[in-house]
A and B are shown apart, each in its own frame.
Chain A
Amino acid sequence: MNDTRLTTLVEHTYSRADFAYRIGVLKEFLSFMFFTAHESHVTKEVVDAFEKEKHPVEDVAFLRSLPGTFFEGLTQESFNEELTHLSEAAQKLPTLSLTIPIMLDDENRAAVWAWVRKELGHDVMLDISSDTDVSVGCQIVWHDQLHDFGFDHYLAVNREKVEESIARVVPRAPLFGHL
Chain B
Amino acid sequence: MITSSIATILSVPLGLLLFLVFIALAVLAGVVIQFGARLRYLASPVYDRIVKEAEEKAKEIMLDAQREARTVKEHAAAEAEKAFADRSKVDEEMRKEQSKHIEMLTAHAQELLNKQTVTISQLSETMASDFSQQARAAGKALEDETAEMKKTIAAETDHMKETFAKMAVKVDEDYHELVAQTRKKMEEELDNEVNSAREAVKAYRIERISLLNKEIVGLVEDTARLALRRSLSLDQHRDIIIAALEEAKQQGLFSKNV
Residues of A within 8 A of B (CB): 98, 100-102, 104-105, 108, 111-112, 115-116, 119-120, 132-133, 135-138, 140, 142-143, 145, 147, 149-151, 155, 162-163, 166, 170, 172-173, 175-177, 179
Contacts and interface: CB of A to CB of B under 8 A. Distances in A.
Interface of B: 198, 201-202, 205-206, 209, 212-213, 216-217, 220-221, 224-226, 228-229, 232, 234-235, 237-238, 240-245, 247-249, 253-254, 258
11 contacts: A100-B237, A101-B237, A104-B234, A108-B237, A132-B229, A136-B228, A137-B241, A138-B245, A147-B253, A149-B245, A173-B209
Nearest to A120: B254
A173 B212 contact: yes
A135 B221 CA distance: 11
B82 to A, nearest CB: 140
A133 B221 CA distance: 12
Nearest to B227: A135
3 nearest interchain CB pairs?
A: A149-B244, A108-B238, A135-B225
Given A140-B244, A176-B205, 15 more contacts: A98-B241, A101-B229, A104-B237, A112-B241, A112-B242, A119-B245, A133-B225, A135-B224, A136-B229, A140-B245, A142-B248, A143-B258, A147-B253, A163-B217, A173-B212
A100 to B, nearest CB: 6
B225 A179 contact: no
Contacts of B232: 136
A175 B228 contact: no
Given A142-B258, A149-B248, A151-B228, A111 B242 contact: yes
B245 A116 contact: yes
A143 B238 CA distance: 23
A140 B244 CA distance: 9
A143 B256 CA distance: 10
B202 A176 contact: yes
Contacts of A116: 245
Contacts of B201: 179
Nearest to A145: B258
A142 B257 CA distance: 12
A111 B238 contact: yes
Contacts of A135: 224-226, 228-229
Contacts of A138: 240-241, 244-245
A140 B253 contact: yes
Contacts of A132: 229
B71 to A, nearest CB: 127
A153 B202 CA distance: 35
Contacts of A137: 240-241, 243-244
Contacts of A162: 217, 220-221
Contacts of A111: 238, 242
A165 B175 CA distance: 66
B254 A119 contact: yes
Nearest to A121: B254
Contacts of B206: 175
Contacts of B243: 137
A138 to B, nearest CB: 5
Given A115-B245, A132-B229, A176-B202, A102 B234 contact: yes
A34 B85 CA distance: 202
B241 A100 contact: yes
